[in-house]
Structure 1
Amino acid sequence: MNFPYTGGCQCGQIRYEIRAEPLTLYVCHCTECQKQSSSAFGMSLTVARDAFAIIQGQPKAWSRKADSGREVKNWFCGDCGTRLFHERTYSPDTINVKPGTLDDTSWLHPVGNLWTSKAQPWVIIPEQMLNYDGQPEDVHLLWEKWRQQRL
């Protein structure tokens, strides 16, 4: 794929660009991701903060505590409610884009599963992925697996 990757909310009021290769893509099974996605899990595409830009509109924000106890600032469209990305106070150099908001999702292949201890019993966790019962101590393994997959 060629940069930038583009995406936005359902109603089209907010548009964004990702201007560099993402760092990783993973699935999270924590109860908060289940709630925010209205599904069995959420997905996060980790991107360098300086590679992400809002090019149209202004998202709204709200903050919450994650299952890990850390604070997360969530950004969404104030008109249609689409959750676009979130920032983590403990990782100010990166953001997690909600990859379903990308215009083209055909290239997305997650490399890991977080909070598998909270996964719905019917969800199958592939063994070849990096899998964590909770929050991983070192996200760099997820980054490395992503790099290897993208080669």
Structure 2
Amino acid sequence: MKIPLTGGCQCGALRYEIHAEPLSVYVCHCTECQRQSASAFSMSVMVPRSALDYIKGTPRRWERVADSGRIIAGDMCETCGVRPVNHPLANDKVSILKPGTLDDTSWLHPVGHIWTRSAQPWVPLPDDAVIHEGHPADMNALIAAWSAYRETMRAG
């Protein structure tokens, strides 16, 4: 993983940089993520909101109520409609990056799964992952698991 992390939308009109290491990488199985990804789940990369900068284009902001009942604002490209980043309004310190929009995805390794009660029955959940049936009360276990994973990678 090379900081800054860079990425953008599908058409290239919206580009971003992340100037800090992610706080966690996990998989979300909520029905909203299933709809957004048009798949069984969506990966999420939690980053410090203060580390996110758009370097090209201006995203359109869209707010919605998530399955958890929390309000989430999403940034999307007005041209192609890709939504690379979500901002939970309940926590103004973090943003949730959709890692398929990253230029380099080779380092991604999810350490947990949330909203598993909505998971498709054919999706296997790793025994060593942090598992939450719904939205966790806090993200501390996911952050700790990512930190431990990163330490093992550095020790290599």
Matched, 1:78 2:87: no
Matches within 5 A, 1:38-117: 38-117=38-117
Cα distance in structure 2, aligned partners of 1:16 and 1:4: 9
Cα distance in structure 1, aligned partners of 2:48 and 2:124: 30
- Tell me by how many angstroms 1:3 deviates: 1.3
Paired amino acid for 1:30: C
- Tell me by how many angstroms 1:2 deviates: 2.5
Percent identity at matched positions?
Answer: 52
The match for 1:141 is: 141
Cα distance in structure 1, aligned partners of 2:3 and 2:33: 28
- Tell me by how many angstroms 1:134 deviates: 0.3
Paired amino acid for 2:17: E
The match for 1:13 is: 13
- Tell me by how many angstroms 1:138 deviates: 2.1
The match for 1:123 is: 123
- Tell me by how many angstroms 1:43 deviates: 1.2
Cα distance in structure 1, aligned partners of 2:38 and 2:150: 29
Between the two proteins, the alignment pairs up a number of residues equal to 151
Paired amino acid for 2:16: Y
- Tell me by how many angstroms 1:44 deviates: 1.1
For structure 2, list consecutive stretches of 5 or more residues without a partner in the other structure: 152-156
- TM-score of the two chains, using structure 2 as the length reference: 0.95
What is the Cα-based RMSD across aligned positions, in Å? Answer: 0.7
- Tell me by how many angstroms 1:137 deviates: 1.1
Cα distance in structure 1, aligned partners of 2:9 and 2:89: 24
Secondary structure of residue in 2 paired with 1:6: strand
Paired amino acid for 1:97: L
- Tell me by how many angstroms 1:82 deviates: 1.0
* Runs of 4+ with deviation above 6 angstroms: none
